[in-house]
Amino acid sequence: MTAVPSDIAIAQAAKLRPIADVAADLGLSADEILPYGRNKAKITAEAIKARTPTGRLVLVTGINPTPAGEGKSTVTVGVGQALRRLGKKVVICIREPSLGPVFGVKGGAAGGGYAQVVPMDEINLHFTGDFHAITSAHNLLSAMLDNHIHHGNSLGIDSRRITWPRTIDMNDRALRQIVVGLGGLNGGPSREERFVIVPGSEVMAILCLATDLQDLETRLGRIIVALTRDKKPVTAADLKASGAMTLLLKDAIIPNLVQTLEGGPALVHGGPFGNIAHGCNSLVATRLGLSLGDIVMTEAGFGADLGAEKFLDIKCRFGGLNPEVAVIVATVRALKMHGGVKKDKLGATDVAALTRGLVNLQAHVENLAKFGLPVVVALNRFVSDSPEELQAVLEAASTWGVRAALSDVWARGGEGGEAVAKEIIAVLDEGKARFKPLYDAALPIKAKIETIAREIYSADGVDYAAAADRNIAQCEAMGLGQTPICIAKTQYSFSDDPAKLGRPKGFRITIRDVYPSAGAGFVVALAGEIMTMPGLSKTPSAEAIRVHADGRIEGLF
């Protein structure tokens, strides 16, 4: 087998179509796009308003991730390319990468091999500046909050009850808990502070759920930044910050158009993480995709217990979306890790371990049926997979009554995704989807948390720390009891313990804290030891990245 070049080498060798031609394929005129250089563009608000969503929505999700890799973005792009090869008018809708993972361990989020969106290096780095705009808007609110306290605190903010953090798009564990205001009289009152990574910012969540500029400003104004001494909420609107924040985000809210390696259209917009946030690309981009194409391929972050649940219970609920197929991405290597095999032993054929690990995939299949969605298993192929192992997964899926096919998009691009694409088309033709959210948003907060924990995680129950109990009562007192729930949890396990792989049983989930995301429209529950600011590994990817004298990039993936 011919060796496949690195992702960055493939991306830089690609001959891209003019972005205006990609837009024209979608029926967009030159006046309806705002070019950002030669290969990127934003689509105007006027173009969005002039169209109505009529396409069909396909969700790509996955098993619980492992260090072996699964490849949701790669499959989303590759199968999108395959659908285009089969004559479908398809639009890919995915999230923008965060610099934290790019320079950490996970890498970028533009796909891989011959299933990428391009220009890969620009998408993975500064792109069109959306993340920078979100960072600026978030930190403007932080600055205005501290400035208000410095100049007399007429709102009566209790500095012990400030809930609004600062943000940066980098993995930096040193910023998880800090002290600010140490500059004397002109430095402002000293207080404890923390940072969250930009994909975990409420401003990111708001941008991804807002429908237009007016809705964006309204949602920004609802952000709760602190409590007064008598525990009344103080909002961004109270600080008169929402107008300026909206100004910083006026271009960031409109979607970005790029292309796949095979020249098909892709909307890359928004980037909340699926473990600490709701993990989906923007509602504006998804609805635009549904108005421009017959089929939209979109993905949700991490495993189906996180990204897919939030996509279905939060994004689809708010956006009136009606997904018709769920594609679950799995790999033999990852399933063997769920079956107990260490990463350095994955090259050896081990059908027994694979069979043990299949329970993880089976649980996700069963969970998605609870939302009324037909499932297609996309078995993402690695060169080390044996025929016996591949066949074992396909046969297992058949016994569960779901469609399954091999995906070889990393090595073969769209051609390698045609088997999965045909299964998706068959499910759409059958028209058996009956989507419904998992829970009624009107239920009490604890009832919703426990429904997710029992029905999706298979937990025996939920335990609440004292802080969580207090803050649940506070959220309900503020009128946020009837919103969806966004559980922040480790991505590696159904449980809140990342070491419990496969399909753990006999465990309980611990909710250590709960806080409102009033602007986004949901309540966040922190499970276990999950952090909203990641740290770098001992050997981060940044160490291997360099730029040669001729501008050629090395080490970016």
What is the distance between the alpha carbons of residues 26 and 41, in angstroms, rounded to a whole number?
13
d(CA 411, CA 404): 19
Residue 241, phi then psi, degrees to nearest 5: -100, -20
Q: Would residue 539 count as lying in a domain?
A: no
**Mean pLDDT of the residues in the chain:** 96
Cα gap 450→440, rounded to integer Å:
12
**In this predicted model, what pLDDT tens digit does every residue of 220-264 receive, in sequence order?**
999 999 999 999 999 999 999 999 999 999 999 999 999 999 999
Question: What is the identity of the amino acid at 156?
Answer: G
Report helix, strand and coil shares of the chain as percent, to nearest 5. Answer: 40, 20, 40
DSSP letter, residue 508 = E
Contacts of residue 215, Cβ cutoff 8 Å, sequence gap at least 6 = none
Each residue of 260-297: pLDDT tens digit?
A: 999 999 999 999 999 999 999 999 999 999 999 999 99
Give the three-class secondary structure for 436.
coil
Tell me, yes or no, whether 120 and 64 share the same domain.
yes
Mean pLDDT of all residues in 359-372: 98
Residues 257 and 350 in one domain: yes
> Does 324 share its domain with 372?
yes
Tell me if 336 is assigned to some domain. Answer: yes
Both 65 and 142 in one domain: the answer is: no
* Residue in 267, 297, 262, 259 with CA at minimum distance from that of residue 414: 262
- Contacts of residue 555, defined as CB under 8 A and 6 or more positions apart, other chains included, come to 8, 541, 544, 545, 546
Residue ending a domain, choose from 232, 248, 264 = 248
By the 10 Å C-beta count (0-12 exposed, 13-18 middle, 19+ buried), 373 is classed as buried
Residue 185 is predicted with a pLDDT of 80
Q: State the pLDDT at residue 183.
A: 82
Does 69 or 331 have the greater pLDDT score? 331
Mean pLDDT, residues 304-333: 98
What is the extent of the structural domain holding 391? 7-129+252-430
- Count of H helices and E strands in the chain? 20, 25
CATH number at residue 343: 3.40.50.300
Say which residues have a Cβ less than 8 Å from residue 527's Cβ, sequence separation at least 6: 487, 488, 489, 490, 496, 509, 510, 511, 512
pLDDT tens across 140-159, in order? Answer: 999 999 999 999 999 999 99
Amino acid at 71: G
CATH of the domain at 489: 3.10.410.10
Tokens of 508: 């309980």
Task: Give me the residue label for tokens 């309806």.
Answer: 32
106 pLDDT band (50/70/90 cuts)? confident
Residues 435, 320: contact at Cβ < 8 Å?
Answer: no
pTM, to two decimals: 0.96
Q: Cβ–Cβ contacts within 10 Å for residue 126, how many? A: 12
Q: Which two tokens stand for residue 443?
A: 């239920």
Give the C-alpha separation, 114 to 409, whole Å: 7
Per-residue pLDDT at 314 exceeds 70: yes
Residue-wise pLDDT for 470-511, tens only, equals 999 999 999 999 999 999 999 999 999 999 999 999 999 999
Instruction: Using alpha carbons, list the distances in angstroms from residue 309 to 327, 359, 452, 464.
Output: 13, 18, 8, 21
User: In terms of domains, do 123 and 140 share one?
Assistant: no
Does residue 223 form part of some domain?
yes
- DSSP code string of 255-282: PEEEEETTS-EEEE-----TTTS--B--
Query: C-alpha angle with apex 166: 161 to 171, nearest 5 degrees?
Result: 130
Mean pLDDT, rounded, for 95-101: 95
Same domain, 269 and 329: yes
* Pick from 116, 506, 72: nearest CA to 300: 72
Q: Judge contact between 198 and 135, C-beta under 8 A.
A: yes
Query: 163 lies in a domain?
Result: yes
> Phi/psi of residue 62, each to 5°?
-160, 180
Q: Which long-range contacts (CB under 8 A, 24 or more apart) does 440-444 make?
A: 441/317, 441/482, 441/483, 441/484, 442/482, 444/476, 444/481
Determine whether 272 is exposed, middle or buried from the number of CB atoms within 10 Å of its CB (0-12, 13-18, 19+).
buried
The residue count of the chain comes to 557
Instruction: Say if residue 161 is in the same domain as residue 307.
Output: no
Contacts 24+ apart (CB under 8 A), 367-371: 367/304, 367/305, 367/308, 367/309, 367/455, 367/456, 368/61, 368/304, 368/308, 368/326, 368/328, 370/438, 370/455, 370/456, 371/312, 371/326, 371/435, 371/436, 371/437, 371/438
- Same-domain check for residues 18 and 104: yes
Tokens describing residue 99: 């610099």
Q: Write the DSSP symbol of residue 300.
A: B
Residues 213 and 247: their CA atoms lie apart, in Å, by 9
Residue pointed to by tokens 């990393």: 410
Asked whether residue 191 falls in the same domain as residue 123, the answer is no
Residue 1 confidence (pLDDT)? 53
Q: Does any domain span residue 534? A: no
> Of 222, 248, 274, which marks where a domain is finished?
248
Q: Is 9 left (phi over 0), alpha (psi -120 to 50) or beta?
A: alpha
**Token pair 């830089």 in the structure block, residue:** 12
Task: Answer yes or no: is pLDDT of 328 > 60.
Answer: yes
Whether pLDDT at 187 is above 90: no
- At residue 536, φ and ψ (nearest 5 deg) are -80, 155
Q: Would residue 1 count as lying in a domain?
A: no
> Which of 430, 460, 482 finishes a domain?
430
pLDDT of residue 109: 86
Q: Same domain, yes or no, for 259 and 403?
A: yes
- Whether 551 is in a domain gets the answer no
Q: Do 19 and 125 belong together in one domain? A: yes
- Total domains present in the chain: 3
pLDDT band at 4 (very low <50, low <70, confident <90, very high): confident
Tokens of 252: 């960031």
Task: For residues 405-417, give the mean pLDDT.
Answer: 97
Query: Can you read off the two tokens belonging to residue 42?
Result: 């934003």
CATH assignment at residue 217: 3.30.1510.10
Are 121 and 134 contained in the same domain?
A: no
- List strand residue ranges (DSSP E) for 331-366, in order: none
DSSP character at residue 314? I
